Amino acid sequence: MFSSTVLDLATGLVFCFLTASLATGAVVEAISSITKWRAKTLRDGIGQLLNDPQLRGLAGELYAHGAINPRGPGNTDPEKNRPAYIDRQLFAHAIMDLTGISFQVAAAAGAAPGTDTARPSLAALHAQVAAKFAAMPNPQLQQLLTGIIDRSFGDAQKIQTELSTWFDHAMDRVSGVYKRWTQVIGFIVALILAGALNIDSIGVAKTLWLQPTVAAKLTADKDTKVTDAIKELGAAIPIGWPNGFGQKVEAGKTMSFTGGDWGLALLGWLITALSTLFGAPFWFDLLQQIVRLKGAGPSPQEKVAGKGASA
């Protein structure tokens, strides 16, 4: 049904896009690690979530909390050694600690250990939250916490679960922001790589399609000199600039690209970059199963799922 030429063409294009995708993914991850963009995006998301973009209120206290930023210096500089990921349960624990909910739960348990009355009263929890936000007003967050307390009837486990769910939903939006940024950078990187290495999808497809014809011609022509054969095969290399940058071979002569050649090449580079844009995340995540490429280490989700190499 399919000729070997068609299969060669399909296989060649797949490996071409695969190589470009892996290279693009590695470069984008390197840029993200050097600029600490993951940590910056998370920091901005936490600041927006807690209505504290400058980290001078509750968000600053959160980043100073040992469960959230264990490598940080504490209260002196919550911006230092910012984490790239935050586990949802640790987030919930930290919020409960910082707002005094944990204190009220512990006080109730100490007053009546091992009994059903160990749960703190709603009035005590409301007063604790109100006292927390008296010095740093945050009506929206105070309303949220008060609602969570009321819905959970003061049950610490339910409060933790609701805080974790709230955090997860917010992080979905933060992940979307980071993904859009990486897509833009990934496309630019892929386009630069495609142009620098001349990974022209149209040219690659054309060369792979004509390769059997070139080989048959050289085989049939017994008088062809070795140097001429090597030159002709070299001119047909599908990737790179075998004849020099912006040079091509026609009728055995080396010629410079014309405007039309550059336009066709640019279209081929764009096709490669767009193909890489969708393939890079898949191949990067697949390679993560073998070797750790992320500079930030595994995310909480990867730990739970047991995905990704440890180093």
pLDDT at 230 over 70: no
Please say which residue of 129, 147, 175 terminates a domain.
Answer: 175
**194/162 same-domain check:** no
Q: At what angle do helices 4-35 and 201-220 cross, to 10 degrees?
A: 140
The model's confidence at residue 150, banded by pLDDT at 50, 70 and 90, is: very high
Please say which residue of 132, 154, 175 terminates a domain.
Answer: 175
Average per-residue pLDDT in the chain?
78
**128/193 same-domain check:** no
Please say which residue of 153, 175, 197 terminates a domain.
Answer: 175
**253/277 same-domain check:** yes
Residue 311 lies in a domain: no
**227/260 same-domain check:** yes
Among the listed residues 135, 179, 138, the one whose alpha carbon sits nearest the alpha carbon of residue 47: 138
Q: What percent of the chain has pLDDT over 90?
A: 26
Q: At what angle do helices 259-288 and 156-196 cross, to 10 degrees?
A: 150
**145/248 same-domain check:** no
Q: Which domain holds residue 63?
A: 38-175
**201/259 same-domain check:** yes
The model's confidence at residue 212, banded by pLDDT at 50, 70 and 90, is: low
**142/52 same-domain check:** yes
Please tell me the predicted confidence (pLDDT) of residue 111. Answer: 62
Which has the higher per-residue pLDDT, 19 or 93? 93
pLDDT at 227 over 80: no
Please tell me the predicted confidence (pLDDT) of residue 126. Answer: 92
- Please report how many Cα atoms fall inside a 13 Å half-sphere around the Cα of residue 35, on the Cβ side: 14
**119/200 same-domain check:** no
The mean pLDDT value for 117-136 works out to 86
**20/42 same-domain check:** no
**105/199 same-domain check:** no
Which has the higher per-residue pLDDT, 192 or 220? 192
Please tell me the predicted confidence (pLDDT) of residue 207. Answer: 75
Domain count, the chain: 2
pLDDT at 102 over 60: yes
**47/165 same-domain check:** yes
Which has the higher per-residue pLDDT, 103 or 82? 103
Among the listed residues 172, 182, 179, 156, the one whose alpha carbon sits nearest the alpha carbon of residue 88: 172
**19/42 same-domain check:** no
pLDDT at 1 over 50: no
